[in-house]
Structure 1
Amino acid sequence: MILEDERVLLRPLQFSDVENLLYFSEHEPDIWYFSLVRANGKANLENYIRIALRARDNKMEFPFIVFDKKAGKYAGSTRFYDMQFSLSTLQLGYTWYGKDFQGTGLNRHCKFLLLQYAFEQLAMERVEFRADHNNARSIAAMKSIGCKVDGVLRSNMPKAEGGRRDSIVLSILKDEWISEVKQNLKKML
């Protein structure tokens, strides 16, 4: 499955994408600060991609690589995960972009395409987002596209560096997508 508009192309992640994402892995360590699976350094990036591809093979996740058409460069990665088709829900996350692509509007294009596909093709009733409760940048980005806060799960996930994190849970419901979020997000593109 390939999703694209005039700004971005999302295509299935492949193991060979290690080379397309290696720069971020080796030179932008801040990207991985809140990540549950670190991809800093080539070996960690290879492991990160292997985990994502194994989950895709098991039909649990669908990871994408993000290509910024405006810049003509690969920008990062995102994915559908915790896909529960019998419940009509999935999570959208594991999203990260290189620093040059952050705050450029690229994320809004990606989220529009992914949400449109989730609600209009996969017939999801709910798309959920989670983040470390201390990740203010990610939380602000989710709220800016129309996510509503459901609550905070206390001490629910281990941190990569040890200890545990609180996770904020946000979501968009299908009726919210149809009634307001889709049009509001489209205006921001």
Structure 2
Amino acid sequence: MLLENSIVKIRPLQIEDVDAIYEVAKYPEIWTHMSINVDCKEDALKYVESALKIKETGTEIPLVIIDVKTNTIIGSTKLMDIDQKHKRGEIGFTWLTPSYWRTSINTNCKYLLLSYCFEVLGWHRVQIKTDHENIRSQKAIERIGAKKEGILRNHMIRKDGTIRHTVMFSITNDEWPQTKSYMEQLLK
């Protein structure tokens, strides 16, 4: 699997990516709303090894996000919660190094992933979820045309022990043609 346009390239995560992941992931602000921290190279190694181990189950596909202009890894994302029987999954655990926040990278990344999910994998539903306190992420998800479905209350326990409510969004295969057209306008 290789997804690419003139802005971003997405490919499967590999064990050889540990050093590059560490270099772009060592910023604490990335992990504020995430379930892990990457504070040292050992954390990056655990992150990559864990993702590759879960990949073996067939329920997740960990990916790296590459800036086409520099050909360097700038973040990561996953296709996760994959359910082949019901033709659904999730785009999640997406993060970018802070210098790429508020750029077109995330929109391009989501466009490529959604196109792959609906047009290649034939999924009926793609969900995206985020922490109820992560307003920046919620706005980004809404901006690409995903529909807010609701809030799963007391859904998770954060790494600091506090309770997280999860805001759920989705796009269905029936909505994809219109959402795709809308997203293509954002990419211009």
Q: Same fold (TM over 0.5)?
A: yes
* Bucket of the pairwise TM-score, normalised by the shorter protein: over 0.9
In structure 2, what is the Cα distance between the partners aligned to 1:160 and 1:39? 13
Partner of 1:90: 89
Displacement of 1:24: 2.7
Q: Which residue of 2 aligns with 1:171?
A: 170
- CA separation in 2, counterparts of 1:164 and 1:45? 25
- Answer yes or no: is the 8 Å Cα contact 2:129–2:168 preserved in 1: yes
Which residue is 1:185 aligned to? 183
Question: CA–CA distance in 1 between the matches of 2:42 and 2:154?
Answer: 28
Partner of residue 9, structure 2: 9
Instruction: Quote the residue 2:103 is aligned against.
Output: 104
Structure 2: which 5+ runs fail to align?
Answer: none
- 1:38: Cα distance to partner? 2.5
Answer yes or no: is the 8 Å Cα contact 1:9–1:67 preserved in 2: yes
CA displacement at 1:53 relative to structure 2: 0.6
Distance 2:95 2:39 in 1: 12
2:130 alignment partner in structure 1: 131
CA shift digits 1:126-161 (9 cap, x unpaired): 000111000001111100001111010011111011
Q: Which has the higher helix share?
A: 1
Matched, 1:81 2:80: yes
Deviation string, structure 1 residues 102-121 (Cα, Å, up to 9, x no partner): 11100111111100000011
* Structure 1 residues not aligned, in runs of 5+: none
Measure how far apart 1:18 and its partner are.
1.0
Structure 1 counterpart of 2:21: 21
CA shift, 1:93, in A, is 0.7
* Partner Cα distance (1:137, 1:104) in 2: 13
Tell whether 2:65 aligns with 1:66.
Answer: yes
Cα pair 2:19 2:41 within 8 Å, conserved: no
Counterpart residue identity of residue 50, structure 1: E
Shift of 1:37: 2.6
Q: List, as ranges, runs of 4+ consecutive aligned residues in structure 1 with deviation greater than 6 Å.
A: none
Amino acid paired to 2:115: Q
Q: TM-score, normalised by structure 2?
A: 0.96
Any conservation in 1 of the 2:24–2:73 contact (CA below 8 Å)? no
Task: Give the structure 2 partner of residue 146 of structure 1.
Answer: 145
Verify the 8 A CA contact 1:25 1:41 in the aligned structure 2: no
* Cα drift, residue 74 of structure 1: 1.5
SS of 1:87's equivalent in the other structure is coil
| Structure 1 residue 51: Cα displacement | 1.4
TM-score, normalised to structure 1, is: 0.95
Count of residues in correspondence between the two structures: 187
Give the alignment's Cα RMSD to 1 decimal.
1.1
CA contact (8 A) 2:154 2:163 kept: yes
Range moving further from structure 2, 42-51 or 123-132: 42-51
